[in-house]
């Protein structure tokens, strides 16, 4: 089975559409690792598209959760707060219902799904081998898929030591030897200084992970963000992947 793995769409419709077009006919099911909303100008449209994907599974991200959990949004940084406040005001009842019913973590086909980490599914960032090492202690499956950092990463553990491997988009990465934590990066707001939308293809039959990037109409997203008066910093950063 081939799985399209997407994360951190963040209401960026043009990025999501580009990913789905680029991945067309290369996957059987779709797994989304959370944060469908926040930052971007198309929350309802992105939720609608994702909901209609065949054999679709989705978990909640911290932005999704914050929208429906009556959290104090001021706990987020100021620009995230502004975008979340705007999102709350434009989400339809149907979109709210969808976000409210998705879970924060799942185990399926011997794969753990968590937005942040197995230790703290909504909030912890796996940014280095030290944090990854702590997460491996709580992963019962061979594979764990995470998002949240907006940066593609591959962490592995051989039972003794945690390592990080180089991510590339040219060669499928073999997953047969160790336990792995995989992050596909962000569809809608990459932060690895590469503005291209990021996603992954997980092949459970061949035990491989393929990282992919695709260009999208960044200006169209930025134009809509300006119309909606979303924070300027969020608009600018899309051009630089940061």
Model pLDDT for residues 107-145, shown as the tens digit of each residue: 998 899 999 999 999 999 999 999 999 999 889 889 999
Count of other CB atoms within 10 angstroms of residue 176: 9
Residue entry with tokens 């553990």: 157
Percentage of residues of the chain with pLDDT beyond 90 = 88
Secondary structure class of 20 (helix, strand, coil): helix
Residue entry with tokens 């992970």: 209
Per-residue confidence (pLDDT) for residue 223, from 0 to 100 = 98
Are 179 and 199 in contact by the 8 Å Cβ rule? The answer is: no
Report which of 155, 175, 229, 167 is spatially closest to residue 192, judged by C-alpha positions: 167
Whole-prediction pTM: 0.96
When computed from its CA atoms, the radius of gyration of the chain, rounded to whole angstroms, is 17
Residue entry with tokens 């971007």: 40
Which domains occur in the chain, in start order? Answer: 2-237 (3.60.21.10)
Model pLDDT for residues 53-99, shown as the tens digit of each residue: 988 999 999 999 999 987 888 888 999 999 999 999 999 999 999 99
Tokens encoding 52: 């209609």
């Amino acid at each position: 089975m081939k799985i399209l793995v997407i994360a951190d769409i963040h209401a960026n419709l043009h990025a999501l559409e580009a990913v789905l077009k680029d991945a067309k006919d290369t996957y059987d099911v779709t797994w989304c690792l959370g944060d469908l909303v926040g930052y971007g100008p198309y929350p309802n449209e992105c939720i609608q598209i994702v909901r209609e994907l065949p054999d679709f599974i989705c978990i909640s991200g911290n932005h999704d959760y914050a929208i429906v959990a009556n959290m104090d949004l001021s706990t987020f940084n100021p620009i995230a707060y502004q975008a979340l406040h705007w999102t709350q005001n434009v989400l339809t009842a149907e979109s709210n219902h969808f976000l409210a019913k998705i879970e924060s973590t799942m185990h399926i086909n011997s794969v753990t799904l968590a937005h942040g980490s197995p230790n703290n599914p909504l909030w912890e960032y796996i940014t280095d081998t030290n944090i990854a090492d702590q997460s491996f202690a709580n992963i019962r499956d061979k594979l764990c898929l995470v998002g949240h950092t907006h940066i593609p990463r591959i962490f592995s553990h051989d039972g003794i030591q945690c390592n990080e491997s180089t991510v590339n988009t040219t060669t499928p990465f073999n997953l047969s030897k160790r336990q792995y934590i995989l992050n596909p990066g962000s569809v809608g707001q990459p932060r690895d200084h590469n503005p291209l939308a990021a996603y992954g293809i997980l092949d459970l039959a061949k035990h491989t992970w393929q990282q992919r990037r695709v260009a999208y109409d960044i200006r169209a997203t930025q134009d809509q963000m300006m119309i909606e008066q979303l924070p300027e910093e969020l608009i600018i950063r899309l051009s630089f992947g940061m």
